[in-house]
Amino acid sequence: MILEPGSFIWATRGRSWGFRFLRDGGFSDPLPVYEAAFAGTAGQREICQRVGDLLVLRFVDPEGRKDHARRVISHDFVVLPPASNEIQSPSDGVSTAWNSVANEYDRIWDAASPVERTAE
C-alpha cells in the first residue's frame, strides 16, 4: 500500500535543513493536528499508536541517515482516515509510510533545502 499525498502529514529533517512538514495532509496549517497527535510523546524515538481515528508513527530513518550534527534523523507521520484504518500493525505502518516517501527523501535529504527536490 502507498499513501496518497493528501492522506498524511509527514515531518522530518534533512542533513542540513531543520524540521519541516513535507506533507500537510491537506491542512492549511498541519501544526495543530500534528501537535495534538504527538502530545505526550516527546523523547520517544519510535511510536506507533492510534489517537482517535489517526495513526501516529515515528521511526528512525531506515537508511540510518544523520544530520550535519550527527543526530539520527527520524520521520513523523500522522496518517488520516481512511488510510489509517487500513494499517493493522506497527511494521505495516512503518513500511507503508516509508514506501510512500522513500524515493522523494532520497532525493532531498542532502539538499540545502527540501524545496530543491526534483519533480516526482
More confident residue, 120 or 95: 95
In eight-state DSSP terms, residue 7 is G
Residue 41 lies in a domain: yes
Given a cut of 60, is residue 117 above it in pLDDT? no
Number of domains in the chain: 1
Residue 11 lies in a domain: yes
Residue 102 lies in a domain: yes
Residue 120 lies in a domain: no
Extract the C-alpha cell encoding 3.
Answer: 499513501
Q: Phi and psi for 64 in degrees, rounded to 5? A: 75, 20
Residue 108 lies in a domain: yes
Q: Which amino acid is at 31?
A: L
pLDDT band at 115 (very low <50, low <70, confident <90, very high): confident
Residue 80 lies in a domain: yes
Residue 10 lies in a domain: yes
Does residue 65 contact residue 74 with C-beta atoms inside 8 Å?
Answer: no
Predicted model pTM: 0.92
- Structural domain that includes position 33: 5-115
Parallel, antiparallel, or unpaired: how do β-strands 8-12 and 20-24 relate? antiparallel
